[in-house]
Structure 1
Amino acid sequence: MQERKGVVAMKGNPLTLVGPELKVGDKAPDFAVVDTAMAPKSLKDYAGKIKVLSVTPSLDTPVCDLQATWFNEDAAELGDVYVLNVSMDLPFALKRYCAAKGFDKVATLSDHREASFGTAYGVLIKELRLLARAVFVVDRDDVIRYVEVVPEATDSIDYDKLLEAVKALA
Protein backbone atom coordinates (compact mmCIF):
# COMPACT_ATOMS: atom_id res chain seq x y z
CA MET A 1 0.00 0.00 0.00
CA GLN A 2 1.28 3.44 -0.93
CA GLU A 3 2.45 5.73 1.91
CA ARG A 4 2.78 9.51 1.69
CA LYS A 5 4.79 11.23 4.40
CA GLY A 6 4.35 14.82 5.57
CA VAL A 7 1.12 15.56 3.67
CA VAL A 8 -0.67 16.21 6.96
CA ALA A 9 0.36 17.01 10.50
CA MET A 10 -1.18 16.94 13.94
CA LYS A 11 -0.21 19.98 16.00
CA GLY A 12 2.80 20.46 13.72
CA ASN A 13 4.01 16.85 13.88
CA PRO A 14 4.26 15.31 10.37
CA LEU A 15 2.23 12.14 9.79
CA THR A 16 2.01 9.42 7.14
CA LEU A 17 -1.07 8.92 4.96
CA VAL A 18 -1.81 5.42 3.66
CA GLY A 19 -3.35 5.12 0.21
CA PRO A 20 -3.29 7.02 -3.07
CA GLU A 21 -3.52 10.76 -3.57
CA LEU A 22 -6.88 11.27 -5.27
CA LYS A 23 -7.31 14.19 -7.63
CA VAL A 24 -10.15 16.02 -9.35
CA GLY A 25 -11.23 13.94 -12.34
CA ASP A 26 -10.42 10.58 -10.72
CA LYS A 27 -13.13 7.96 -10.45
CA ALA A 28 -14.26 7.81 -6.82
CA PRO A 29 -13.20 4.49 -5.32
CA ASP A 30 -15.75 2.27 -3.63
CA PHE A 31 -15.48 1.61 0.11
CA ALA A 32 -16.99 -0.59 2.82
CA VAL A 33 -18.12 1.18 6.01
CA VAL A 34 -21.00 0.77 8.48
CA ASP A 35 -23.71 3.17 9.58
CA THR A 36 -24.94 3.79 13.13
CA ALA A 37 -27.08 0.61 12.97
CA MET A 38 -24.02 -1.45 11.90
CA ALA A 39 -25.51 -1.84 8.41
CA PRO A 40 -22.92 -2.01 5.61
CA LYS A 41 -22.69 1.02 3.32
CA SER A 42 -20.66 1.72 0.20
CA LEU A 43 -20.42 4.32 -2.53
CA LYS A 44 -22.92 2.26 -4.54
CA ASP A 45 -25.62 3.00 -1.93
CA TYR A 46 -25.57 6.62 -3.12
CA ALA A 47 -25.40 5.96 -6.87
CA GLY A 48 -26.71 8.70 -9.13
CA LYS A 49 -26.50 11.38 -6.41
CA ILE A 50 -24.06 14.18 -5.73
CA LYS A 51 -22.10 13.23 -2.63
CA VAL A 52 -20.07 15.30 -0.19
CA LEU A 53 -17.71 13.02 1.70
CA SER A 54 -16.85 14.89 4.89
CA VAL A 55 -13.94 13.13 6.57
CA THR A 56 -13.12 13.73 10.24
CA PRO A 57 -10.62 12.22 12.68
CA SER A 58 -13.23 11.94 15.49
CA LEU A 59 -16.54 13.65 16.13
CA ASP A 60 -15.53 13.87 19.80
CA THR A 61 -13.19 16.76 19.02
CA PRO A 62 -14.21 20.44 18.65
CA VAL A 63 -13.15 20.98 15.01
CA CYS A 64 -14.77 17.71 13.87
CA ASP A 65 -17.93 18.55 15.80
CA LEU A 66 -17.98 21.97 14.12
CA GLN A 67 -17.55 20.37 10.68
CA ALA A 68 -20.34 17.83 11.17
CA THR A 69 -22.65 20.42 12.74
CA TRP A 70 -22.04 22.85 9.86
CA PHE A 71 -23.03 20.16 7.36
CA ASN A 72 -26.13 19.17 9.31
CA GLU A 73 -27.27 22.78 9.62
CA ASP A 74 -26.37 23.84 6.08
CA ALA A 75 -27.11 20.63 4.16
CA ALA A 76 -30.44 22.05 2.95
CA GLU A 77 -28.53 24.88 1.28
CA LEU A 78 -26.56 22.31 -0.72
CA GLY A 79 -29.68 21.08 -2.55
CA ASP A 80 -30.07 17.47 -3.69
CA VAL A 81 -26.79 16.33 -2.16
CA TYR A 82 -25.98 13.44 0.16
CA VAL A 83 -23.58 14.43 2.94
CA LEU A 84 -21.66 11.49 4.37
CA ASN A 85 -19.42 12.03 7.39
CA VAL A 86 -16.82 9.28 7.63
CA SER A 87 -14.61 8.73 10.67
CA MET A 88 -13.02 5.91 12.65
CA ASP A 89 -15.49 6.50 15.48
CA LEU A 90 -17.38 3.37 16.53
CA PRO A 91 -20.97 3.14 15.25
CA PHE A 92 -22.29 3.20 18.84
CA ALA A 93 -20.49 6.48 19.53
CA LEU A 94 -21.78 7.92 16.26
CA LYS A 95 -25.35 6.93 17.12
CA ARG A 96 -25.06 8.55 20.56
CA TYR A 97 -23.48 11.69 19.04
CA CYS A 98 -26.21 12.07 16.39
CA ALA A 99 -28.99 11.56 18.96
CA ALA A 100 -27.49 14.16 21.30
CA LYS A 101 -27.06 16.67 18.46
CA GLY A 102 -30.37 15.94 16.73
CA PHE A 103 -28.63 15.19 13.43
CA ASP A 104 -30.96 14.24 10.62
CA LYS A 105 -29.30 15.48 7.43
CA VAL A 106 -25.83 13.93 7.61
CA ALA A 107 -25.19 10.19 7.34
CA THR A 108 -22.48 9.34 9.86
CA LEU A 109 -20.43 6.33 8.80
CA SER A 110 -17.73 4.36 10.58
CA ASP A 111 -14.58 3.09 8.87
CA HIS A 112 -13.36 1.33 12.04
CA ARG A 113 -13.56 -2.26 10.76
CA GLU A 114 -11.32 -2.35 7.72
CA ALA A 115 -10.16 1.25 7.16
CA SER A 116 -11.52 0.64 3.66
CA PHE A 117 -12.48 4.27 3.08
CA GLY A 118 -9.25 5.62 4.58
CA THR A 119 -6.99 3.48 2.41
CA ALA A 120 -9.10 3.90 -0.77
CA TYR A 121 -9.18 7.70 -0.43
CA GLY A 122 -5.61 8.05 0.87
CA VAL A 123 -6.60 9.65 4.18
CA LEU A 124 -5.73 6.93 6.72
CA ILE A 125 -3.17 8.28 9.19
CA LYS A 126 -0.77 5.40 9.75
CA GLU A 127 0.56 6.53 13.13
CA LEU A 128 -2.89 7.16 14.68
CA ARG A 129 -5.26 4.85 12.75
CA LEU A 130 -7.53 7.86 12.35
CA LEU A 131 -8.67 9.60 9.19
CA ALA A 132 -7.17 12.92 8.12
CA ARG A 133 -9.56 15.87 7.90
CA ALA A 134 -10.67 16.08 4.29
CA VAL A 135 -13.62 16.65 2.00
CA PHE A 136 -14.38 15.13 -1.39
CA VAL A 137 -17.21 16.17 -3.70
CA VAL A 138 -18.31 13.36 -5.99
CA ASP A 139 -20.69 13.94 -8.90
CA ARG A 140 -23.62 11.77 -10.04
CA ASP A 141 -21.26 9.69 -12.21
CA ASP A 142 -18.93 9.03 -9.25
CA VAL A 143 -16.20 11.33 -10.54
CA ILE A 144 -14.34 13.40 -7.95
CA ARG A 145 -14.95 17.12 -8.60
CA TYR A 146 -13.36 18.66 -5.49
CA VAL A 147 -10.67 17.50 -3.06
CA GLU A 148 -9.36 19.14 0.07
CA VAL A 149 -7.05 17.32 2.46
CA VAL A 150 -6.38 19.74 5.30
CA PRO A 151 -2.61 19.95 5.98
CA GLU A 152 -3.03 20.52 9.75
CA ALA A 153 -5.56 18.09 11.25
CA THR A 154 -6.67 20.63 13.86
CA ASP A 155 -7.63 23.20 11.19
CA SER A 156 -11.03 23.48 9.47
CA ILE A 157 -11.90 22.76 5.87
CA ASP A 158 -12.45 25.69 3.49
CA TYR A 159 -16.24 25.93 3.60
CA ASP A 160 -16.46 28.68 0.95
CA LYS A 161 -14.53 26.69 -1.67
CA LEU A 162 -16.53 23.59 -0.83
CA LEU A 163 -19.85 25.40 -1.31
CA GLU A 164 -18.63 26.79 -4.63
CA ALA A 165 -17.72 23.28 -5.83
CA VAL A 166 -21.06 21.78 -4.80
CA LYS A 167 -23.11 24.60 -6.31
CA ALA A 168 -21.27 24.15 -9.60
CA LEU A 169 -22.71 20.61 -9.80
CA ALA A 170 -26.27 21.39 -8.73
Structure 2
Amino acid sequence: MATVTFKNDIVCNLAGNEVNVGDTAPVVTVVNSNPMLQDEQVGGEGKVQLVIAVPSLDTGVCDAETRRFNQEAANLEGVEVITVSMDLPFAAARWCGAAGIENIKVCSDFRNKDFGNAYGVLLADGPLAGVLARVIFVVGKDGKVAYKQVVPEITEEPNYEEAIEAAKAAANA
Protein backbone atom coordinates (compact mmCIF):
# COMPACT_ATOMS: atom_id res chain seq x y z
CA MET A 1 0.00 0.00 0.00
CA ALA A 2 1.38 3.40 -0.99
CA THR A 3 1.76 6.11 1.64
CA VAL A 4 2.17 9.87 2.02
CA THR A 5 2.95 11.92 5.10
CA PHE A 6 1.05 14.74 6.77
CA LYS A 7 3.14 17.47 8.42
CA ASN A 8 6.21 15.23 7.94
CA ASP A 9 5.08 13.21 10.92
CA ILE A 10 1.94 11.17 10.32
CA VAL A 11 2.09 8.37 7.74
CA CYS A 12 -1.16 8.03 5.78
CA ASN A 13 -1.98 4.95 3.72
CA LEU A 14 -3.58 5.32 0.30
CA ALA A 15 -6.63 3.16 -0.39
CA GLY A 16 -7.84 1.86 -3.70
CA ASN A 17 -6.23 0.36 -6.77
CA GLU A 18 -2.80 1.83 -7.39
CA VAL A 19 -2.48 3.09 -10.97
CA ASN A 20 0.96 3.56 -12.50
CA VAL A 21 2.53 4.86 -15.69
CA GLY A 22 1.66 2.56 -18.58
CA ASP A 23 -1.57 1.33 -17.00
CA THR A 24 -4.91 1.96 -18.66
CA ALA A 25 -6.44 4.90 -16.82
CA PRO A 26 -9.69 3.91 -15.11
CA VAL A 27 -12.73 5.69 -16.52
CA VAL A 28 -14.66 7.25 -13.65
CA THR A 29 -17.25 9.95 -13.19
CA VAL A 30 -16.74 12.95 -10.94
CA VAL A 31 -19.07 15.90 -10.37
CA ASN A 32 -18.28 19.24 -12.01
CA SER A 33 -18.78 22.48 -10.09
CA ASN A 34 -19.40 24.51 -13.28
CA PRO A 35 -21.77 23.64 -14.81
CA MET A 36 -23.09 22.69 -11.40
CA LEU A 37 -23.57 18.98 -10.72
CA GLN A 38 -22.78 17.92 -14.29
CA ASP A 39 -21.01 14.57 -14.56
CA GLU A 40 -17.45 14.77 -15.84
CA GLN A 41 -15.41 11.81 -17.10
CA VAL A 42 -11.84 11.21 -16.01
CA GLY A 43 -9.86 8.72 -18.07
CA GLY A 44 -10.66 7.22 -21.43
CA GLU A 45 -9.28 7.53 -24.92
CA GLY A 46 -9.27 10.33 -27.43
CA LYS A 47 -7.97 13.29 -25.42
CA VAL A 48 -5.13 14.24 -23.14
CA GLN A 49 -6.06 14.96 -19.55
CA LEU A 50 -3.97 16.54 -16.81
CA VAL A 51 -5.74 15.31 -13.67
CA ILE A 52 -4.83 16.95 -10.39
CA ALA A 53 -6.01 15.39 -7.13
CA VAL A 54 -6.01 17.66 -4.08
CA PRO A 55 -7.38 17.22 -0.53
CA SER A 56 -9.47 20.43 -0.36
CA LEU A 57 -9.57 23.73 -2.23
CA ASP A 58 -10.01 25.43 1.12
CA THR A 59 -6.37 24.98 2.16
CA GLY A 60 -3.44 27.21 1.32
CA VAL A 61 -1.49 24.62 -0.66
CA CYS A 62 -4.48 23.34 -2.66
CA ASP A 63 -5.54 26.93 -3.34
CA ALA A 64 -2.07 27.84 -4.65
CA GLU A 65 -1.79 24.64 -6.68
CA THR A 66 -5.18 25.02 -8.34
CA ARG A 67 -4.54 28.68 -9.15
CA ARG A 68 -1.16 27.81 -10.66
CA PHE A 69 -2.59 25.06 -12.87
CA ASN A 70 -5.40 27.41 -13.92
CA GLN A 71 -2.74 29.88 -15.13
CA GLU A 72 -0.70 27.17 -16.85
CA ALA A 73 -3.79 25.70 -18.55
CA ALA A 74 -4.16 28.86 -20.65
CA ASN A 75 -1.02 27.75 -22.54
CA LEU A 76 -1.72 24.02 -22.70
CA GLU A 77 -3.22 23.38 -26.12
CA GLY A 78 -4.92 20.04 -26.55
CA VAL A 79 -4.94 19.27 -22.82
CA GLU A 80 -8.04 19.09 -20.64
CA VAL A 81 -7.11 20.10 -17.09
CA ILE A 82 -9.26 18.72 -14.27
CA THR A 83 -8.77 19.26 -10.55
CA VAL A 84 -10.54 16.74 -8.32
CA SER A 85 -11.14 17.14 -4.59
CA MET A 86 -13.69 15.99 -2.04
CA ASP A 87 -15.14 19.49 -1.70
CA LEU A 88 -18.86 19.76 -2.34
CA PRO A 89 -19.54 21.21 -5.80
CA PHE A 90 -21.33 24.21 -4.25
CA ALA A 91 -18.28 25.11 -2.17
CA ALA A 92 -15.98 24.50 -5.15
CA ALA A 93 -18.11 26.79 -7.33
CA ARG A 94 -17.91 29.57 -4.74
CA TRP A 95 -14.15 29.10 -4.43
CA CYS A 96 -13.69 29.11 -8.24
CA GLY A 97 -15.70 32.33 -8.54
CA ALA A 98 -13.65 34.06 -5.86
CA ALA A 99 -10.36 32.75 -7.29
CA GLY A 100 -11.17 33.59 -10.93
CA ILE A 101 -10.77 29.99 -12.11
CA GLU A 102 -11.72 29.85 -15.80
CA ASN A 103 -9.26 27.58 -17.61
CA ILE A 104 -9.74 24.28 -15.79
CA LYS A 105 -12.56 22.04 -14.64
CA VAL A 106 -12.89 21.78 -10.87
CA CYS A 107 -14.70 18.61 -9.87
CA SER A 108 -15.65 16.63 -6.79
CA ASP A 109 -15.37 12.96 -5.93
CA PHE A 110 -17.73 13.34 -2.97
CA ARG A 111 -20.52 11.01 -4.13
CA ASN A 112 -18.89 7.61 -4.23
CA LYS A 113 -15.16 8.27 -4.01
CA ASP A 114 -14.88 6.47 -7.36
CA PHE A 115 -11.87 8.48 -8.52
CA GLY A 116 -9.99 8.11 -5.24
CA ASN A 117 -10.55 4.36 -5.14
CA ALA A 118 -10.02 3.68 -8.85
CA TYR A 119 -6.75 5.63 -8.95
CA GLY A 120 -5.53 4.59 -5.49
CA VAL A 121 -5.26 8.12 -4.11
CA LEU A 122 -7.85 8.09 -1.30
CA LEU A 123 -6.41 8.67 2.17
CA ALA A 124 -7.38 5.57 4.15
CA ASP A 125 -6.36 6.78 7.59
CA GLY A 126 -4.84 9.63 9.54
CA PRO A 127 -6.39 13.02 10.31
CA LEU A 128 -7.38 13.58 6.67
CA ALA A 129 -8.89 10.13 6.07
CA GLY A 130 -11.49 10.23 3.32
CA VAL A 131 -9.96 13.00 1.21
CA LEU A 132 -7.63 12.68 -1.76
CA ALA A 133 -3.86 12.71 -1.60
CA ARG A 134 -1.94 15.30 -3.63
CA VAL A 135 -1.31 13.39 -6.87
CA ILE A 136 -1.07 14.36 -10.55
CA PHE A 137 -1.79 12.11 -13.52
CA VAL A 138 -1.45 12.70 -17.24
CA VAL A 139 -3.72 10.46 -19.30
CA GLY A 140 -2.67 10.21 -22.94
CA LYS A 141 -4.87 10.05 -26.02
CA ASP A 142 -4.53 6.26 -25.90
CA GLY A 143 -6.20 6.19 -22.48
CA LYS A 144 -3.02 5.13 -20.70
CA VAL A 145 -1.34 6.88 -17.79
CA ALA A 146 1.62 8.75 -19.29
CA TYR A 147 2.76 10.42 -16.06
CA LYS A 148 2.16 10.16 -12.33
CA GLN A 149 3.44 12.33 -9.51
CA VAL A 150 2.62 11.47 -5.91
CA VAL A 151 3.62 14.37 -3.66
CA PRO A 152 5.11 12.51 -0.69
CA GLU A 153 4.31 15.23 1.87
CA ILE A 154 0.68 16.29 1.51
CA THR A 155 1.35 19.84 2.77
CA GLU A 156 3.86 20.56 -0.03
CA GLU A 157 3.25 21.71 -3.59
CA PRO A 158 3.98 19.43 -6.56
CA ASN A 159 6.66 19.80 -9.20
CA TYR A 160 4.63 21.98 -11.57
CA GLU A 161 7.20 22.13 -14.36
CA GLU A 162 7.53 18.35 -14.57
CA ALA A 163 3.75 17.87 -14.73
CA ILE A 164 3.29 20.59 -17.37
CA GLU A 165 6.07 19.13 -19.53
CA ALA A 166 4.50 15.67 -19.27
CA ALA A 167 1.13 17.07 -20.36
CA LYS A 168 2.72 18.90 -23.31
CA ALA A 169 4.59 15.75 -24.35
CA ALA A 170 1.38 13.71 -24.25
CA ALA A 171 -0.46 16.34 -26.30
CA ASN A 172 2.28 16.26 -28.93
CA ALA A 173 2.55 12.46 -29.06
TM over 0.5: yes
Q: How many angstroms apart in 1 are the aligned matches of 2:38 and 2:168?
A: 30
State the match for 1:133 in structure 2: 134
* Inter-partner Cα distance in structure 2 for 1:67 and 1:120: 23
- Structure 2 CA distance for aligned equivalents of residues 125 and 43 of structure 1: 19
Give SS of 1:162's match.
helix
Q: Does 1:121 align with 2:119?
A: yes
Residue of structure 2 in register with 1:156 after alignment: 157
Q: Tell me if 1:76 matches 2:74.
A: yes
Q: Which of 30, 50, 53 is residue 52 of structure 1 equivalent to?
A: 50
Q: Counterparts of 1:161 and 1:27 in 2: how far apart (Å)?
A: 21
Match in the other structure for 1:9: 5
The list of structure 1 runs, each at least 4 consecutive aligned residues, that deviate by more than 2 angstroms after superposition, is none
Q: Which residue number corresponds to residue 23 of structure 1?
A: 20
Mind listing any 5+ residue stretches in structure 1 that lack a counterpart? Answer: none
CA distance in 1, matches of 2:65, 2:104: 11
Instruction: Give structure 2 stretches of 5+ with no counterpart.
Output: none
Structure 2 counterpart of 1:32: 29
Q: In structure 1, what is the equivalent of residue 143 of structure 2?
A: 142
Tell me which amino acid in the other structure corresponds to 1:18: A
- Structure 1 residue 167: deviation in Å? 2.1
Q: Is the 8 A contact 2:30 2:42 kept in 1?
A: no
Cα drift, residue 47 of structure 1:
4.6
Cα distance, 1:162 vs. partner? 1.0
Q: CA RMSD in A?
A: 1.3
Taking the aligned partners of 1:75 and 1:167, their CA distance within structure 2 comes to 11
Determine whether 1:86 maps to 2:84: yes
Q: Distance in 2 between matches of 1:118 and 1:17?
A: 9
CA shift, 1:49, in A, is 1.3
Aligned partner letter, 1:77: N
Aligned mates of 2:64, 2:143 — CA distance in 1: 27
Confirm whether residue 41 of structure 1 aligns to residue 40 of structure 2: yes
Cα distance in 2 for residues equivalent to 1:104 and 1:124? 26
Q: Secondary structure at the match of 2:102?
A: coil
In structure 2, the residue corresponding to 1:39 is in which secondary structure? strand
* TM-score normalised by structure 2 residue count: 0.91
- How many residue pairs align between the two structures? 165
